[in-house]
Chain A
Amino acid sequence: MAEPRRLLSVLLLGLLVTLPAHAQLTVQITQGVNAPIPVAVVPFAGDGLAVDVAAVVEADLARSGRFAGLARTAMPQRPTAAAQFDATQWRLVKTDYLVLGRVLHDGDRYLVEFELYNVLTGARLLAYSVTAAATGLRLAAHRTADLIYEKILGVPGAFASRIAYVLVEGPPASRRWKLVVADADGENPVVVVNSPQPLMSPTWSPDGTRLAYVSFEGHASGVWIQNMLTGSREKVSGRPGINGAPAWSPDGQRLALALSQPDGNVDVFVMELASRALLRVTDDPAIDTEPCFAPDGQSLYFTSDRAGRPQIYHIVLAAGERPKRVTFEGNYNARPRVSPDGTQLAVVTQDQGAYRIATVDVATGRSKVVTSGRLDEGPSFAPNGQTVVYAARERGRGVLATAAVDSGVTSRISAASGDVREPAWSPRL
């Protein structure tokens, strides 16, 4: 009896690792800018490649909503080197920019060389060589798209990054929670934890090698840290009651947490990871939770209902400091996340009876609703601060969506099945 069952286990594991199709995400632009910049990405030279590098680059640029690609059938020529590029032919197809390149074998690795041209002037704007491991061609393509995006728009791209999310599958009675890590374009999803109990609140370490998250294994909440390189995991907080809402300090040495007292009241703490020593940050009979470090590591934003309804507060991590309220617009503002430059918060806000994502200007307290769903939650900034990814409900199903902070571009990221929730955008890879 033992043997067949073991075989089944092996088969199932194989399915999880090699065929994560159920976790695969599809990204769709739902709203772009009015006049996206036309850019032609000519197929790269290179034989027997597993990845169409030019297609990945073009898809990244198009997915940002800021660019429009050019169909290959509409290309007047297919240059792969500077000498072949004839700007006059390209001016006729009304493209502003052109990308050409080639993939060269370099032992067991690849060298991706690309050039970016201004079609109008014929000037070469960029020329880079990107080294990639045999399995890293997609990543090299994302890095290429990042550089093109930055050159044209003046802001770094965020294509070479990942998104961690929780995939919830099955009806309430036999539900499973999966913690999944995928590339920012939804490709290469990998299930890193699979549990019959809830998984929540994944968040990336600043170096992108570890995830902290909440797991309810054993019918109790615990905060875990899992190494993405080795797969090893460790429970860093498993006190009685609530162990939740982990948030890394910018130096990766500390973890802010929400922990409950024996009477169930939740307060914010900071744990020194090396020693596990806890520093109490808040002490109030209200709910204090969802901490988030400011980029300088010296202060925290958090949610508190000390004024009756949840609002965002800010506290400096020094003896005797008192929290200051940050949000005053609307009667529900929760789950702050700080933009990489520290100037904005992304929060969940109540807006016309719905729950939506808003950005809050830290200096003025002014807030701006950037989504239009009914049950939007869990915003997370892209590493370039241009976009937030968040969880939305669409026809009863949980999907991820993105909203640009300034440009109005939105996209939807959905899985083939199940609810996708609690996205966390990684640092740039």
Chain B
Amino acid sequence: MKRILSLALIVALSSLLAACPKKPTTVPNANAGQVVAPVSGASTGSASADANQVRPLANDSASSAGSEGVLASTIRFEYDSSEIKAEYAPVISAQGKRLAADRRATVRLEGHTDERGSAEYNVALGERRAQAVKKALLLQGASESQLSTVSYGEERPVTDGHDEAAWAQNRRVEIIVLAAH
């Protein structure tokens, strides 16, 4: 009897949990600031309005859509590596010099991996790549305060494919030039 009673209680409580109405929390976009309160009554409609703020470059626009800032360059990496290949020296050099010449300019370095392996390990790997690019830019004369990093791991591929060619495209750091404040 006691067992039936406690069972009944458990089921009644969990039914209460199930019955509780939940509204989805729509996360407002990006530049709304750090503290984002749950927006009751917000909708998916309002969130797509931020598309206006996106001005991606013509030829490699996909991954920066939905974020402010402009994609300036993409640096690609080998599998499980954060080593910057020699072919990207001119890109690093140009970006570094540009930052050194204009101290108000800031960039965000977004690290990415391919989809293989575990998601959080890939976040750490993407951060390693972003940090490698940051170090290279510092050597070219950029200053610490001009550079921020974020790693999206495997979450934001540039292409949806699932083969070697797609993975090679997705293992990258994007240099995003942020609007001057």
A residues with a Cβ closer than 8 A to B are 5, 8-10, 12-13, 16-17, 109, 128-136, 138-140, 143, 160, 171-178, 188, 190-198, 200-201, 208-209, 215-221, 226, 228-229, 231-233, 235, 238, 240-242, 244-245, 258, 260, 263-264, 266, 287, 289-290, 303, 305, 310, 332, 334-335, 348, 355, 375, 377-378, 393, 396, 421-422, 429
Contacts and interface: CB of A to CB of B under 8 A. Distances in A.
Given A13-B43, A193-B24, A194-B26, 8 more contacts: A8-B45, A17-B22, A134-B19, A193-B25, A219-B30, A242-B151, A429-B10, A429-B14
27 contacts: A9-B42, A13-B42, A129-B4, A130-B7, A132-B11, A136-B14, A136-B19, A139-B14, A173-B66, A174-B66, A188-B18, A190-B22, A192-B25, A193-B24, A194-B24, A217-B27, A218-B36, A226-B25, A235-B36, A240-B148, A242-B124, A244-B124, A264-B131, A287-B125, A289-B120, A289-B123, A334-B121
Contacts of B48: 174, 196
B128 A195 contact: no
A209 B115 CA distance: 31
Interface in B1-58: 4, 7-12, 14-36, 38, 40-48, 50-51
Contacts of B11: 130-132, 136, 139-140, 143
Which residue of B22, B46, B134 has the most chain A CB atoms within 10 A of its CB atom? B22
A260 B117 CA distance: 20
A233 B35 CA distance: 11
B83 interface: no
A217 B16 CA distance: 31
The 5 A-B residue pairs with the shortest CB-CB distance in the complex, in nearest-first order: A136-B15, A264-B131, A133-B15, A9-B43, A195-B27
A255 to B, nearest CB: 14
B156 interface: yes
A232 B4 CA distance: 33
Nearest to A176: B44
A251 B51 CA distance: 43
A194 B25 contact: yes
Interface residues of B, number: 78
A375 B22 contact: no
Given A8-B43, A221-B150, A290 B8 contact: no
B159 interface: yes
B94 to A, nearest CB: 23
A198 B155 contact: yes
B29 A196 contact: yes
B67 A219 contact: yes
Contacts of A216: 150, 152, 155
A375 B24 contact: no
Contacts of A196: 27, 29-30, 47-48, 50, 66
A326 to B, nearest CB: 15
Which residue of B41, B153, B155 has the most chain A CB atoms within 10 A of its CB atom? B155
A81 to B, nearest CB: 18
B155 A200 contact: yes
Given A12-B43, A175-B66, A244 B120 contact: yes
Nearest to A127: B4
B80 to A, nearest CB: 8
Contact of B152 (A5, A198, A355): A198
Given A219-B108, A348-B117, A287 B128 contact: yes
Contacts of B119: 200-201, 335, 377-378, 421-422
